[in-house]
Amino acid sequence: RRSITEVPREHFGHRILVKCLQLSLEMEVEPIFVSMALYDSRERKKISETFHFDLNSDSTMRLISNHITHADVSSVSRSCIFSITYPSPDVFL
């Protein structure tokens, strides 16, 4: 008699929702374009895709609008979900 094999399924680990709401500086002299990713300090490597976004005020965006012909929809978002398959205290943002 054969045993019933379990259906393979993906191991998700943990998911982290990051929402970038605001960045305030005393002087807004240049536009702010940000990127973030997850890194494993023990393995010394990046373990996620890079999330690109901007936190520019409306007035700053008006100033640079002539230089940006197209704002990619992927950079307009201010939130992302990072998946950590195998959580570790060595993982940082």
Q: Look at residue 7 and tell me if it is in a domain.
A: no
Each residue's pLDDT, cut to its tens digit, for the chain (93 residues) gives: 788 888 888 777 899 999 998 888 887 778 888 899 999 999 999 999 999 988 888 888 888 888 877 777 777 788 999 999 888 999 999
* pLDDT score at 6: 86
* pLDDT score at 42: 96
The number of folded domains in the chain is 1
Q: Look at residue 26 and tell me if it is in a domain.
A: yes
Q: Look at residue 69 and tell me if it is in a domain.
A: yes
Q: Look at residue 8 and tell me if it is in a domain.
A: no
pTM, entire model: 0.71
Residue 61 structural domain: 14-92
Q: Look at residue 84 and tell me if it is in a domain.
A: yes
Do 38 and 48 contact (CB within 8 A), yes or no?
yes
Per DSSP, the three-state class of 8 is: coil
Q: What one-character-per-residue DSSP string does 23-40 give?
A: ---S---S--EEEE--EE
List CB contacts of 36: < 8 A, sequence separation 6 or more: 18, 50, 51, 93
